Amino acid sequence: MLRLQQEHDFRMIFSSSSEVYGDYGGEMSEEVPRQTPIRQLNDYAISKWVSEQQILNSAERHGTETVRVRFFNTYGPGEKYSEYRSVVAKFCYRALHDQPYHVYDNHHRSFTYIDDTIHTLANIVETFNPGEVYNIAGENYRNIQELSDIVLDYLDKDDDLVEYRGVEEHNTLNKKASIEKAKRDLGHEHQISLEEGVPRTIEWMKTVYDVE
């Protein structure tokens, strides 16, 4: 993509990830990875950070124009289930189908409903600032077990099929996003809470998978 960008001179929005913050333990503001020694905890995170560095190098050497966005646990209708999908999609699907799943209940995440994400992405086109990087996240900073409880409560099911595991070693423990920059530059707004977004996701899944 960078070679094509150099050849055809188009602007690009690159989808990075909150995983680039690795083992950082504080509030995750955009400048942290360049100012603080951190370690990405898995290959996916490493690949995103390497891509960000390639983008910055291309901008310096070839004048390419890119905005990077770091998504935080985006979920909602349109995300079909697989083992590689968001924790929301996995919990909703498995609970809906009475399948077992595990919960790393010591982890916390900043959950982002898809509609809130799309609104902000659209605004980048109108306020494109080459070289910038933005966290796109909700203000739903919640424990993973809370998410599971919301799913089960909506479906009126107990947690007999849930295994609680504590900590997942090769994944970031807590992802608390700073979104002040996105609010300021992109008009980012958190509107949909987990209590609203999870039922919408489940109802969509009922239709897609033909489950009552």
Q: What is the CATH number of the domain that holds 86?
A: 3.40.50.720
Which residue segment(s) compose the domain that 118 sits in?
A: 2-208
For the chain, 212 residues long, give each residue's pLDDT as a single digit of tens.
Answer: 999 999 999 999 999 999 999 999 999 999 999 999 999 999 999 999 999 999 999 999 999 999 999 999 999 999 999 988 999 999 999 999 999 999 998 899 999 999 999 999 999 999 999 999 999 999 989 999 999 999 999 999 999 999 999 888 878 889 999 999 999 999 999 999 999 999 999 999 999 999 98
Number of neighbours of residue 114 by Cβ within 10 angstroms: 17
pTM more than 0.75 = yes
Count up the domains in the chain and report the number: 1
Task: Name, in order, each residue with C-beta under 8 angstroms of 112's C-beta and a sequence gap of 6 or more.
Answer: 71, 72, 73, 74, 75, 136, 137, 138, 140, 190
